[in-house]
Amino acid sequence: MPEKPFTIFVVEDNDWYNRLLVHTLSLNPDHVVKSFSNGKEFLDNLHEAPDIVTLDYRLPDITGLELLKRIRQENSDLQVILISEQEDINTVVNLLQHGAYDYITKSNDIRDRLLNTVQNIRNGIGLKREISSLRREIQKKYSFRQSILGESPAIKSIYELIEKALGTNITVTISGETGTGKELVAKAIHYNSKRRDKSFVAANVAAIPAELIESELFGHEKGSFTGAAFRRIGRFEEADGGTLFLDEIGEMNPAFQVKLLRVLQEKEFVRIGSNNPVKTDCRIIVATNKNLKEEVKKGKFREDLYYRLLGLPIELPPLRERGNDILILARHFIGQFCAENEMPLKKLSAPAQKKLLQYSFPGNIRELKSVIELALTLSARDEIEPADLVLDAGDPLSVAVHENLTLRECEMRIIKAALKKNNDDIKLTATQLDIGVSTIYRLLKEEKE
């Protein structure tokens, strides 16, 4: 579809000045300029949705202020430049307060001033369109059935929960092992919700030092502490109207948990060094790889904050419980890596597929992505073979499945590895593995017999 031409309407009742403005604006061949001599004629054509209108303050049938108000009601995106001999400062301020982009007096330098103002508006409109286009691309990217890949029952149940999260602003708690895609789910919820046009702001609680977390989330005023050289806007303020994603919430300092609870309850916060509360309207999504209920029992997480955050719980399954999703994801990562590196598309051989399915992936999706990217780098053929897949050979679950070990044989592998690590210190090994010393002696004796 061809791009809509950049259209400017000139509304001016003085015929000579009307022609001057049209001529000036038409110097740019990209501009389509139309002129009108009164307000009614202009309003009858407002449906054509121009990008800019230059508006004389004094028209024969309607005042510039009244016409400005009508424009704002009909098309809030239309940029209005007021042009007049009127120089009263109060009038100018009033017009700017009602949404005029600029006020230009009729003077000798009006041509340069007008063209500069129009160019500034064009730059702003171009930026808005670019942002809008990027947002559409992001929404497409995070269409959750395209970004969260899989066909397993576990993933289909996650789809259903995400659907339920989209219709409201309920807080969402995403739990799961490291590498299961918690931030991806958070983004999918945001970019498919009513808040999609506002910011998605992420903060990894574990990565923020305890003494800085209040400043990071709430912001601070200039001079509020040593080193505060300027006012800082916190993550809550950045996310206003959008979504704030707090990753690894289980690592939050207990002393700060009280302050976070208050913000969630009161929907306002105070910057460090200020006494003025700032209202906040952001959706909260939190993620954790810990069992928060167990953390509450241990006294490491406040019970009242736990229940305040719980909202809609979404528990992501580990990759080892997702069956053939491993191969779906592997193929996706192959296609992605080959496209990014301009490589011929490769396939997974049947033995390579079997090897992937037999591995337990303790690092989950993140580990699978790394394994596939390395395999593509190492592979010298059209297909990825088992030898190209560098997996963690020390993973007991993978060893047990791959080598068809019995439970007793797997136990012996773990005990021997621990003994070797501990220089054959049986007591230390028993403590680390949480088993009795006699159990180790018995198993070692049985193996020798």
| Over residues 53-67, mean pLDDT | 84
Name, of 119-123, 169-173, 381-385, the range with top average pLDDT.
Answer: 169-173
| Over residues 375-399, mean pLDDT | 77
Work out the pLDDT band at 87, boundaries 50, 70, 90.
low
Predicted structure pTM score: 0.59
| Over residues 154-178, mean pLDDT | 92
Residue 28 has pLDDT above 50, yes or no: yes
- Give the residue with greater pLDDT, 442 vs 207: 207
Work out the pLDDT band at 423, boundaries 50, 70, 90.
confident
| Over residues 413-431, mean pLDDT | 79
Q: What is the reported pLDDT for 418? A: 76
Domains 319-397 and 405-448 share a fold: no
Q: What is the reported pLDDT for 404? A: 56
Residue 148 has pLDDT above 70, yes or no: yes
Q: What is the reported pLDDT for 250? A: 92
| Over residues 54-75, mean pLDDT | 83
Cα–Cα–Cα angle for 353, 355, 358, rounded to 5 degrees: 110
Q: What is the reported pLDDT for 89? A: 65
Q: What is the reported pLDDT for 367? A: 92
- Give the residue with greater pLDDT, 337 vs 230: 337
By DSSP bridging, strand 172-175 and strand 283-288 are parallel
Q: What is the reported pLDDT for 239? A: 93
Express as a percent the part of the chain with pLDDT over 70.
88
Residue 195 has pLDDT above 60, yes or no: yes
- Give the residue with greater pLDDT, 275 vs 143: 275
Residue 167 has pLDDT above 90, yes or no: no
Q: Region of 221 please: left (phi>0), alpha (psi -120 to 50) or beta.
A: beta
Question: CA neighbours within 13 Å on the CB side: how many for 431?
Answer: 6
Could you tell me the fold of the domain covering 145-315?
Rossmann fold (3.40.50)
- Give the residue with greater pLDDT, 422 vs 318: 318
Per domain, the residue ranges of the chain are 6-135, 145-315, 319-397, 405-448
The string of pLDDT tens digits covering residues 241-259 is 999 999 999 999 888 999 9
CATH code, residues 319-397: 1.10.8.60
Q: What is the reported pLDDT for 97? A: 74
Q: What are phi and psi of 36, to 5 degrees?
A: -140, 150
| Over residues 131-159, mean pLDDT | 72
CATH code, residues 6-135: 3.40.50.2300
- Give the residue with greater pLDDT, 315 vs 59: 315
| Over residues 189-218, mean pLDDT | 90
- Which CATH architecture group holds 405-448? Orthogonal Bundle (1.10)
Mean pLDDT of the chain: 85
Q: What is the reported pLDDT for 440? A: 83
Alpha carbon distance 310, 296 (integer Å): 12
Q: What is the reported pLDDT for 2? A: 46
Work out the pLDDT band at 200, boundaries 50, 70, 90.
very high
Alpha helix (H) ranges present in 36-85? Answer: 39-44, 64-74
| Over residues 332-349, mean pLDDT | 91
Q: Which strands, in side-by-side order, build the sheet including 52-56?
A: 31-36, 6-11, 52-56, 79-84, 102-105
Residue 281 has pLDDT above 90, yes or no: yes
The CB density around residue 78, as the number of other CB atoms within 10 Å, is: 17
| Over residues 48-65, mean pLDDT | 85
The CB density around residue 395, as the number of other CB atoms within 10 Å, is: 16
